[in-house]
Amino acid sequence: MRSTLSNARCYHFRMRRAGYVLAGGQSSRMGVDKARLLWEGEALLDRIAGEVCAAAGSVALIAPPGRYPDFRGRIYPDLRPGCGPLGGLETALSVTRADWNLVVACDLPRLSRTLLRRILDAAEASKSDCLVPVSGGRLQPLTAVYHRRCLLTIRRALDEGLFRLTEVLSRLDCTRWDVSEEEEALLWNVNTPAEWKILLQLDKGCQ
């Protein structure tokens, strides 16, 4: 897997914003590693990392050690393996040097840097603990922005054995941010071969 981040300034120092891609899942329903699926000739992980980096100014990966040896960027293993996305979010907020942290799953092929920048801008303007897009009436907590102050609440939830990210949001000052109808398709994620096939067919039909 060859990263496409060489053209972006993706430094990791004390900054206002940072970006993280979660790629620690098992992709059990897909049957293969979703991050390695090819979208327009590029590995899904590389494409999403590039968009996140362009929007946030940096990108790092939350993933098991050795899974993506060709990724040209920082990789952090989960502090609590097996705790799902909430564990990945805890890890990101533990290592970040930024106040506002864009956290994105690795299974969103159509994601765009333009939308991600808008989400980051809205998060900073909100001054909330986190800003979570709402698409099709559903919260999208894995395309969201979290202030580093969320870490303590997330850590406590995990200590209590709470692993559902949507439940933890109720403990935070969370701003819900409505996505336009035109942007909803950018937040489509894929979990199964059937969903992947449909998305590829839709994308081909739009060309």
> What mean pLDDT, rounded, does the chain reach?
88
User: What token pair was written down for 199?
Assistant: 């998305």
Question: What confidence score (pLDDT) does residue 26 get?
Answer: 62
Could you read off the pLDDT of 35-92 as tens digits, one per residue?
Answer: 888 888 898 999 999 999 999 999 999 999 899 999 989 999 999 999 999 999 999 9
Could you read off the pLDDT of 36-51 as tens digits, one per residue?
Answer: 888 888 989 999 999 9
Question: What confidence score (pLDDT) does residue 29 get?
Answer: 67
pLDDT at 206 over 60: no
Question: What confidence score (pLDDT) does residue 140 get?
Answer: 96
- Is-contact 53 59, C-beta < 8 A? yes
How far apart CA 156 and CA 100 sit, in angstroms, is 20
How far apart CA 136 and CA 37 sit, in angstroms, is 25
- Is-contact 184 143, C-beta < 8 A? no
Q: How far is CA 68 from the centre of its chain?
A: 16
How many degrees, rounded to 5, is the angle at CA 27 between CA 112 and CA 145?
40
How far apart CA 205 and CA 95 sit, in angstroms, is 41
Question: What confidence score (pLDDT) does residue 130 get?
Answer: 98
User: What token pair was written down for 10?
Assistant: 């993706």
User: What token pair was written down for 191?
Assistant: 């979990």
Could you read off the pLDDT of 14-32 as tens digits, one per residue?
Answer: 579 999 999 977 655 676 7
- Is-contact 141 132, C-beta < 8 A? yes
Maximal CA-CA distance, the chain: 49
- Is-contact 48 21, C-beta < 8 A? yes
Question: What confidence score (pLDDT) does residue 204 get?
Answer: 63
Residue 178: DSSP 8-state: E
